[in-house]
Structure 1
Amino acid sequence: MPLRLRDDVTLVATDYGAVLLDERAGRYFQLNPTGRVAAERLLAGGDTDDVVAAITAEYDVTEERAREDLTALVDQLRQAGLAGS
């Protein structure tokens, strides 16, 4: 599940997760800590299994739930026009 942000979208870590800044639209999108882990891992070239393993190791969540949430996050980022494949 490759992920690449548009050139005018920046991921900025915060104390509460991360924020995606859309410079073109002047909007931002907040990610919770789990979303931050997922986005950072995918952007670094990790695949679905890598991200799911990182999330289940760090948070009290099942592998199935982590996969579902990861798919939903990537779909939402693409639908919002923040990311492509």
Structure 2
Amino acid sequence: MTFALKPDVSLTPTEHGTVLLDERRGRYFQLNPTGTLVLRTLLDGATAHQAAELLSERYGITREQAATDVAALLENLRKRKLAGR
């Protein structure tokens, strides 16, 4: 399954990561650089597993921890109604 943000969510890079703006609700959500890396990887078509692999390699954390972190980000985006799937 391909990850996608809702159509009314826009991305703005910042010096500290990325801001996601829910244009319909007028709410925003800030991602740090690590969250930005995961989000960009998923938006480029990678699976959650592949994003976790990249996170593990880039930051030297276990694959299990990386998978937990990716899953938490995805759940948070869905809960805030920013992700479409």
What TM-score comes out, normalization by structure 1 length?
0.89
What is the number of equivalent residue pairs in this alignment? 85
Q: Structure 1 segments of 4 or more deviating over 4 A? A: none
Alpha-carbon shift at residue 76 of structure 1 (Å): 0.9
Q: Counterpart of 1:19 in 2: which secondary structure?
A: strand
- Unmatched runs of 5 consecutive residues or more in structure 2: none
Q: Counterpart of 2:61 in 1: which secondary structure?
A: coil
The structure with the greater share of residues assigned to strand is 1
Map 1:19-34 → 2, pairs under 5 A: 19-34=19-34
Alpha-carbon shift at residue 7 of structure 1 (Å): 0.7
Q: Supply the RMSD in Å over aligned alpha carbons.
A: 1.3
Structure 2 residue aligned with 1:7: 7
Map 1:44-63 → 2, pairs under 5 A: 44-63=44-63
Counterpart-to-counterpart distance in 2, 1:37 and 1:22: 20
Alpha-carbon shift at residue 57 of structure 1 (Å): 2.2
What TM-score comes out, normalization by structure 2 length?
0.89
